């Protein structure tokens, strides 16, 4: 599937598929930015699957992702490369980024936890990650890998992304709130703004990656 511009007919959905194969991983991801939050995710890393399902459901972006990686070594390559491929799929589906809202931010509560995410679909990738965990692992997944996923996603989607856990105690809630906050902010940022009238939301006239 090819990326579509927002200047094209509105019935054409913004979709993309990216395939990436290395000696460490073999990953395919398909996204539909105008979806309903449907997901079909299998990475071999159970907790990552759970988080990507949350990302799809709460962003309303349909995500299909298949990953095979060198899990016998550790989860690092599979987690990071999943972020790379999903980010590239989002960037491709956005096309020239004309007509989008561009910015999005949210405070996401989850029980005792509160996390903030802010996005600029800027074409200038950057991550600020202000999140700390008190445990080394969630399930079998190293908690340090969450930053690796967010870094890979932001870099390859071409977005400026700030994520801060303001407070929280339960590590599962902290991780899940990060993905849900990203999802809701992304949902706002990639939504078509009818007042843009198909223009790129920048005085430079481009938001190219």
Phi and psi, residue 72, nearest 5°: -70, -20
Residue 3: predicted pLDDT: 44
- Condensed to tens digits (0 to 9), the pLDDT of residues 108-164 reads 999 999 999 999 998 899 999 999 999 999 989 999 999 999 999 999 999 999 999
Q: Is the pTM of this model over 0.95?
A: no
* pLDDT-derived band at 203, boundaries 50, 70, 90: very low
Q: Based on DSSP, count helices (H) and strands (E) in the chain, helices before strands.
A: 4, 10
Per-residue pLDDT at 137: 95
pLDDT exceeds cutoff 50 at 9: no
For residue range 52-99, what is the model confidence (pLDDT) as tens digits?
A: 999 999 999 999 999 999 999 999 999 999 999 999 999 999 998 888
Pairing of strands 141-142, 137-138: antiparallel
CATH of domain 15-196: 3.30.230.40
Q: What value does the mean pLDDT of the chain take?
A: 91
Query: DSSP E strands: which ranges in 33-102?
Result: 39-42, 62-69
Contacts of 203 (CB under 8 A, 6+ apart): none
Lowest-confidence segment of 10-19, 26-35, 150-159, 190-199 by average pLDDT: 190-199
């Amino acid at each position: 599937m090819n990326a579509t511009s927002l200047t094209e007919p509105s019935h054409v959905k913004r979709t993309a598929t990216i395939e990436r194969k290395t000696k460490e991983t073999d990953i395919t991801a398909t996204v539909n930015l105008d979806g309903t939050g449907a997901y079909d995710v299998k990475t071999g890393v159970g907790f990552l699957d759970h988080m990507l399902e949350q990302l799809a459901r709460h962003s309303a972006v349909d995500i299909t992702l298949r990953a095979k990686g060198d899990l016998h070594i550790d989860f690092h390559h599979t987690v990071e490369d999943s972020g790379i491929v999903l980010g590239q799929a989002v960037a491709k589906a956005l096309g020239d980024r004309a007509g989008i809202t561009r910015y999005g931010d949210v405070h996401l509560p989850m029980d005792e936890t509160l996390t903030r995410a802010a996005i600029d679909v800027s074409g200038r990738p950057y991550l600020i990650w202000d999140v700390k965990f008190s445990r080394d692992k969630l399930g079998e997944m190293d908690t340090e890998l969450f930053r690796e996923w967010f870094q890979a996603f932001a870099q390859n989607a071409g977005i400026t992304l700030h994520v801060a856990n303001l407070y929280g105690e339960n590590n599962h809630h902290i991780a899940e709130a990060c993905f849900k906050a990203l999802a809701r902010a992304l949902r706002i940022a990639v939504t078509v703004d009818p007042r843009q009238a198909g223009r790129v939301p920048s005085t430079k006239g481009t938001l190219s990656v």
